[in-house]
Amino acid sequence: MILYPNAKINLGLSVLTKREDGFHNLETLFYPVDAKDVLEIVESSDLSMHQYGIEYPGDPMDNLCVKAYKALKEDFDIPPVDIHLFKKIPVGAGLGGGSADAAFTLRGLNEMFSLNLPDNKLAEYAASLGSDCAFFIYNRPMLGTGRGEVLEPVEVPALEGYEIRLVYPPYFVSTAAAYGGIVPRSRWEEMGWEVDPRSVMEILAQPVECWKDSLVNDFERTVFAKIPQLAAYKDELYAQGAVYASMSGSGSAFFGIFRK
């Protein structure tokens, strides 16, 4: 079976509070985009993982695709598989490539072995693998809350008539490093920072031209402080005519929204 796991962008990303479990409560809109990896799953005599394309750090057997297989294997008597992954979505770019690969592995195994798991059950397995994995089970615009695993389908009519372009700067931003410097919005007042009381969805309900100064990715403040060169990529998208531009997720990729 061959699948094509796609990337996502975040339309707004508010880090609201730090939780007792060490994670953060978020509000963001996950939006699928067309950048894709290539994933092949083949029944085999032994479990194996093969990676190609963009170099992916670490032991291949620690890949989220393998963890997705093992999660299902705990509950279902499925045979071993060979997993072949051709990486095209950059790593450490905030585009969810690893999460997409894992979610598509779950979806592929579900179909290959006729497990007949509904999307909500697959999303439970996905959420155990990563905060944004569950989104890729549904793979449509979703409002994400909690740590990103609480999902609600939404429409974004404001984007009709626009196209999205991605930019991949040559910088790696680890999720841990991005979160390490984040200041939750619950502390912004004590920092002397202005807090917009509107929710992400309230801002997204406006025309795209109104998003520039109000739809914010809170990680930009943290990541730009660590890698100042990244701010220039956002500025360049606006210079090219984008009506809105932002870093995606915890970085380092950027997207621009342009009129078609």
- Is the domain of 122 the same as that of 169? no
| 161 and 141 in a common domain | no
Q: Which of 108, 132, 153 is the last residue of a domain?
A: 153
Per the omega criterion (within 30 degrees of 0), is the bond before 99 cis?
Answer: no
CA dihedral (74, 76, 81, 84) in degrees, to 10, reads: -70
Is 80 exceeded by the pLDDT of residue 115?
A: yes
Beta strands in 101-224 (DSSP E): 142-145, 150-153, 162-167
Question: Are residues 98 and 198 both part of a single domain?
Answer: no
In terms of Cβ atoms closer than 10 Å to its own Cβ (0-12, 13-18, 19+), residue 190 is exposed
Strand 81-87 and strand 48-53: the pairing is: parallel
Amino acid at 207: P
Name the pairing type of β-strands 142-145 and 81-87: unpaired
| Count of CB atoms situated within 10 Å of the CB of 84 | 17
Pick the residue with more confidence: 197 or 112? 112
The predicted pLDDT at position 29 comes to: 97
DSSP β-bridge partners for residue 150? 145
Q: How many CB atoms lie within 10 A of CB 221?
A: 14
22 pLDDT above the threshold of 80 = no
Number of Cβ within a 10 Å radius of residue 225: 11
Per-residue pLDDT, averaged over 102-115, amounts to 98
Percent of all residues in the chain with a pLDDT value above 70, rounded to a whole number = 100
Shared domain check, 100 and 8: yes
The yes-or-no verdict on residue 212 having pLDDT over 80 is: yes
The residues that are catalytic are 8, 132
Give the residue among 172, 134, 164 at the shortest CA–CA distance from 150. 134
Residue 185 confidence (pLDDT): 86
- The answer to whether residues 192 and 106 belong to one domain is no
Q: Are residues 90 and 162 in the same domain?
A: no
| Token pair for 12 | 């707004």
Query: What is the number of structural domains in the chain?
Result: 2
- For 120-159, write each residue's pLDDT tens digit: 999 999 999 988 999 999 999 999 999 888 999 999 999 9
Structural domain ending residue among the three candidates 153, 183, 202: 153
Mark whether 136 and 25 lie in a shared domain: yes
CB atoms under 10 Å from CB of 245, counted, come to 22
| Residues 219 and 90 grouped into a single domain | no
CB atoms within 10 A of CB 69: 22
Do 37 and 100 reside in the same domain of the chain?
yes
Listed residues 98, 126, 153: the one ending a domain:
153
Shared domain for 173 and 134, answered yes or no, is no
**Contact status, residue 34 vs residue 89, Cβ threshold 8 Å:** no
What CATH number does residue 184 fall under?
3.30.70.890
Domain that holds residue 193: 157-259
Count of alpha carbons within 13 angstroms of residue 174, beta-carbon side: 6
Q: What's the sign of the alpha-carbon dihedral 179, 187, 214, 159? A: positive
Dump pLDDT digits (tens) for 149-198: 899 999 999 999 999 999 999 988 887 878 888 888 888 888 888 888 89
Residues 122 and 7 in one domain: yes
Residue 122 sits in a domain whose CATH number is 3.30.230.10
pLDDT at 173 (0 to 100)? 84
Please state, for a pLDDT cut of 90, what percent of the chain lies above it. 76
Do 233 and 131 share a domain, yes or no? no
Count CB neighbours of 128 within 10 A.
13
pLDDT, tens digit (0-9, with 9 covering 90-100), for 53-96: 998 778 999 999 999 999 999 999 999 999 999 999 998 899 99
